[in-house]
Amino acid sequence: MRKHAFRFIFLTALCAASAAVAQTPSSERTDNHRQAWLQVNLNGDMSTMNGGLQILAQNIGDDAPSASAVGRHRDGIGANGAQASAPAIKEETGFDPVRNRSEVIIFAFERGVIQTQLDLAYFYRNEAEFDGTAYHERGGWRAYRGNNLVGQGWFSPNSPEGVLRLEIVAYAPFDRLELFATPYVTESGVEIEPGLILTDSSDFLIEHIAYRVANEALAAAAR
Ligand SMILES: [Ca+2]
Ligand SMILES: [Ca+2]
């Protein structure tokens, strides 16, 4: 229910932006907005995939990312390796607390992108408790232009339903976006001590991505 509310707000925002461009004929406005945001639903069949986006994943122990490491679940996609002993869904991108590293999901864009919105699922606050301390899931992202890191950050759950709309803007257009999971964190953001909980850790599915391609002038300036 919550994710539909997010989508309604997003569409409402687009309509409001469209109304502000009062000088543009309505048919042209519609075309512009369709081009501005490319939308991809990442359910089991990924039927709306387009040619401008490639999705790769790297499981723990893999030497390199590959398309065959992408896991498909009815509620989204992730790296398909088993990341913890129980009870995680292996199609999630997850942190493995035993091997102390994370799987990675990678979006490679054909053209430089300036902004993305990702809808995450199965991503919870207060997922674990140890010795009276509550722990939340957490993830991280890194954006690259070629081999150059142009942005990075953390993201945390903010809804009881386990969904999160993650907005990513880097300081320059990027052609690769990597997302990974981290160890559990406390309310103040301190990572759990290694070895304290070995049966589960942070993990999430990505069910939708929308992205905006940078215009050519911006993309050229960033090279
Ligand atoms: Ca996995
Ligand atoms: Ca999770």
Count: domains in the chain: 2
> Which ligand is closest to the CA of 203, given by its number?
2
d(CA 102, CA 92): 11
- 62, with CB counted inside 10 A (0-12, 13-18, 19+), is middle
> Which ligand is closest to the CA of 84, given by its number?
1
- The arithmetic mean of pLDDT across residues 124-135, rounded, is 96
- The arithmetic mean of pLDDT across residues 2-25, rounded, is 37
Query: Are residues 72 and 5 both part of a single domain?
Result: no
Query: Are residues 42 and 29 both part of a single domain?
Result: no
Note down the domain range covering 1: 1-36
Query: Are residues 177 and 214 both part of a single domain?
Result: yes
Q: Residue 27: which pLDDT band, with cuts at 50, 70 and 90?
A: very low
Which long-range contacts link 83-87 to residues 24+ away (Cβ below 8 Å)?
83/181, 83/201, 83/203, 84/198, 84/199, 84/200, 84/201, 84/203, 85/198, 85/199, 85/200, 86/199, 86/200, 87/199, 87/200
> Which ligand is closest to the CA of 60, given by its number?
1
CA–centroid distance, 165 to ligand 1, in Å, is: 20
pTM: 0.80
- The arithmetic mean of pLDDT across residues 116-126, rounded, is 97
Query: Are residues 15 and 105 both part of a single domain?
Result: no
Query: Are residues 5 and 68 both part of a single domain?
Result: no
Query: Are residues 106 and 180 both part of a single domain?
Result: yes
Query: Are residues 103 and 9 both part of a single domain?
Result: no
CA–centroid distance, 44 to ligand 2, in Å, is: 18
Which residues, other chains included, contact 70 with Cβ-Cβ below 8 Å and sequence gap of 6+? 55, 56, 57, 77, 78, 79, 80, 105
Q: Residue 216: which pLDDT band, with cuts at 50, 70 and 90?
A: low
Query: Are residues 31 and 45 both part of a single domain?
Result: no
Query: Are residues 49 and 148 both part of a single domain?
Result: yes
Query: Are residues 145 and 181 both part of a single domain?
Result: yes
> Which ligand is closest to the CA of 78, given by its number?
1
